[in-house]
Structure 1
Amino acid sequence: MGGLIHAYYDCVSPYSFFAFTHLQEVRAVLASHGVSIEYVPTSKKGNQPPWLVPAKAKLGQLELERAIKYWKVEPFKIPKIFPILTILPQRALTYIKHTYPTAQFENTAHLYWQWFLYKHQDISKPDILRELLASPEAGFSREQAEEILTIAMTDKKWKEELTATTQAALDKGAFGAPFFWVVKTDGHGRTVAEEPFFGSDR
């Protein structure tokens, strides 16, 4: 028995950050049971988070504070620039996923949240995204960072790829991020069951 967790997420979502952090922490345990993780960048325009709805804002902030404590991550405040349009950074990440080693892809995803949630940098802006990609923490050369940014801005292939993965999540029932499609397989790798899950606490 084994399985695969398709983790659909958006870099604007703090709850995607909680889920990503937790999955990275339990990855070895999951692997010991034959379960692997695939992180899938998505970008859903117009999905309004609870704390931007006046009637939900107070509870939404309280829930965020609870989640920060529960997941034991360094405290942060939602940036004043929130929400941002994540199409450009998620296109870049989609290209990185298919071009660079998995560890570098996942490290870049983590950096997105570090810059956005903790540094309050608008990573949807080309100049800031370029700076992030060229930072020592990202592990890309300046030439590679420039290439990634240019491809994310101009290459139709990665625009269509991000659109397709976002639509795939929507077709499976996603209405926000994070969203998970969990597949259970038998000893021969055949799918025996699959179910959707929503939210970082699932």
Structure 2
Amino acid sequence: MGGKVDAYIDIEPRAPRSAWSTHRVGCRIFLLPYDHLVTRLFLSIHPILLGAVNAASGNKPPWTLPAKAKYGTFDARRSSVRVGKPDITTPDSFMERSMTVLPLRVLHFIKANYPDAAYLTAWHWLLHRFWEPPNANLTKPEVLAEALADAPRQYPGDTKDRLFSDADVRKILEGAATQEIKDSVKAKTQEAIERGAFGAPWFWVVNDEGKGEPFFGSDRFQFIINAEPYP
């Protein structure tokens, strides 16, 4: 039996896009190469609302501090190039678009009602549509519906081979509006807060002995692999 990783991420912070591109991830098995070892970890990815995490922890977005905002342009470019995504750009009207409650609810519904592969592809696709030109405004229901309808069965892949049918898109959007799914987003966000989250991506890693530790950031995989013992 391997360890377990709970990953708490939102669509709007830039770091999860880099984290997603850095390693091949799966909901059930997370393979982390480290030196000559391969570790098997059970991974569960939870969409959370970063704004609520910031409010609860007292954290503030880095661009609210002028010095960090100035440096962030350099760091963001370097990170994008490092993971092979040089086209990642901050959308116009970013503050408006960062209210990602609706796409997070959509992802919760997909996770609960579709296979893991569909859930992961939906994450890939929505991150791509949000962060890469022409930067879709996923907070608008009609834009989100179009994005879901265009999602390829595999990412990257041909959008003619669709992940979701028109009936699926209607089902997902209707399901995302239910109280059950609204409560699911709130519950996972609160779970992250109770586990010490002050930003995203936030990881809660439990090793094979049942010991849990938090990890923060898209470049912490080498630390996660050292949270021994793993088989």
* TM-score of the aligned structures, taking structure 1 as reference length: 0.89
Deviations 1:129-173 (A, max 9, x none): 1001111516111111011112212x0000001000000001101
* Contact 1:81 1:120 (C-alpha < 8 Å) held by counterparts: no
Map 1:15-94 → 2, pairs under 5 A: 15-24=15-24, 27-29=30-32, 32-45=38-51, 47=54, 48-83=60-95, 84-94=98-108
Between the aligned partners of 1:25 and 1:182, the Cα distance in structure 2 is 15
Aligned-partner SS, 1:74: coil
Aligned-partner SS, 2:42: strand
Between the aligned partners of 1:167 and 1:20, the Cα distance in structure 2 is 23
Q: Structure 2 unaligned segments of length 5 or more: list them.
A: 55-59, 153-161, 221-231
1:97 has 2:115 as partner? no
Of 163, 168, 184 in structure 2, the residue corresponding to residue 139 of structure 1 is 163
Pair 1:58–1:197, CA change in 2 (3 A):
same
Aligned-partner SS, 1:95: helix
Pair 1:52–1:79, CA change in 2 (3 A):
farther
Q: Structure 1 unaligned segments of length 5 or more: list them.
A: none
Matched residue count: 196
Aligned-pair CA distance for 1:6: 0.9
Of 184, 191, 210 in structure 2, the residue corresponding to residue 161 of structure 1 is 184
Between the aligned partners of 1:25 and 1:126, the Cα distance in structure 2 is 28
Pair 1:93–1:25, CA change in 2 (3 A):
closer
Between the aligned partners of 2:25 and 2:186, the Cα distance in structure 1 is 29
* Contact 2:109 2:181 (C-alpha < 8 Å) held by counterparts: yes
Between the aligned partners of 2:180 and 2:151, the Cα distance in structure 1 is 28
Give the percent of matched residue pairs that are identical in Structure 1 and Structure 2. 34
Of 139, 142, 145 in structure 2, the residue corresponding to residue 127 of structure 1 is 142
Aligned-pair CA distance for 1:14: 1.5
Between the aligned partners of 2:23 and 2:203, the Cα distance in structure 1 is 12
Between the aligned partners of 1:81 and 1:185, the Cα distance in structure 2 is 44
Aligned-partner SS, 1:134: helix
Aligned-pair CA distance for 1:25: 5.9
* Contact 2:31 2:40 (C-alpha < 8 Å) held by counterparts: no
Aligned-partner SS, 2:138: coil
1:116 has 2:122 as partner? no
Corresponding residue for 1:150?
Answer: 174
